[in-house]
Structure 1
């Protein structure tokens, strides 16, 4: 895709709000007929704008009451050590998000657990035993203000060329 026009942006906005929309409903909402809407969705998928679809699950309802933010410090920061640690982190299902960060620490992880005791055991048995881990610093979520938010798309409208 060469660029996104107002229909593509509208499709992205609607699908972020509800990824289960039928093509018929989506096409009505964005003002296109069904076939061109479907082609645009396919092009957005193939172009990598839409990475996938999934259900957003309430972690509390499935018994994961603790959300921890863990800053993980690596023993040494070189390419091989970092790659080993990244691979190990990817393999841990309780780590739901991981970012390589600037400043103090090497990685910032979001970790879910049943309760504080489970998290404590997990930190000792799993996180501290990841390759080349020097230290952990943990903060716990005391309540969610905003999560799973849609990405802002306003910059796409201002980036468009006139007449696009």
Structure 2
């Protein structure tokens, strides 16, 4: 990965709808070499996909909560069952396994407090291996949707 590849990634991170022609202009390459580099970045997995960034509030999803999960014990079967069950809950927009206590952090977006309460009571409390759930509400996003720090986060010659 060189400086041109990082520039391609930075441009696509800022605007994933760029055409190859627009991208080539921005990174100062002709279209064919830019297209080859783009396909190589996609093939290597450095570009994992493309998607639209949606505004949850404008779509009627104004309730944002963080749920901390502490497990009874972190044995492999229970962890796999828990993680599989979490993947099936569409309101969980992010789930991270943590070192220490708590074991997991879930970001959950719902329409409102009653919808969150139903989800909490009917789904979250029944997840495999859960000992304790602790929730907090997101007051506002201070930093959200920020792209990866491409200039400082990549080792020379590595794709990630």
TM-score class, shorter-chain normalisation, is: over 0.9
1:111 aligns with 2:108: yes
Aligned-pair distance for 1:155? 2.1
Asked whether the 8 Å contact 1:72–1:106 carries over to 2, the reply is yes
Post-superposition CA distance 1:71-120 (Å, at most 9, x none) = 01112211111011000001110000000001212110000011112111
Aligned to 2:83: 86
Aligned to 2:68: 71
Aligned-pair distance for 1:148? 0.7
- SS for the counterpart of 1:24 is helix
1:160 aligns with 2:159: no
Asked whether the 8 Å contact 1:75–1:133 carries over to 2, the reply is yes
- Gapped runs of 5+ residues in structure 2? none
Match of 2:47 among 39, 50, 69: 50
Aligned-pair distance for 1:144? 1.2
Aligned to 1:32: 29
Displaced runs of 4+ in structure 1, greater than 3 A?
none
Cα 1:120–1:156 change in 2 (3 A) is: closer
Q: How many residues align?
A: 157
Aligned to 2:137: 140
Match of 1:15 among 12, 28, 32: 12
Aligned-pair distance for 1:160? 3.1
Asked whether the 8 Å contact 1:44–1:50 carries over to 2, the reply is yes
Asked whether the 8 Å contact 1:9–1:156 carries over to 2, the reply is no
Structure 2 Cα separation of the partners of residues 138 and 112 of structure 1: 12
Structure 1 Cα separation of the partners of residues 153 and 69 of structure 2: 35
- Gapped runs of 5+ residues in structure 1? none
Asked whether the 8 Å contact 1:67–1:113 carries over to 2, the reply is yes
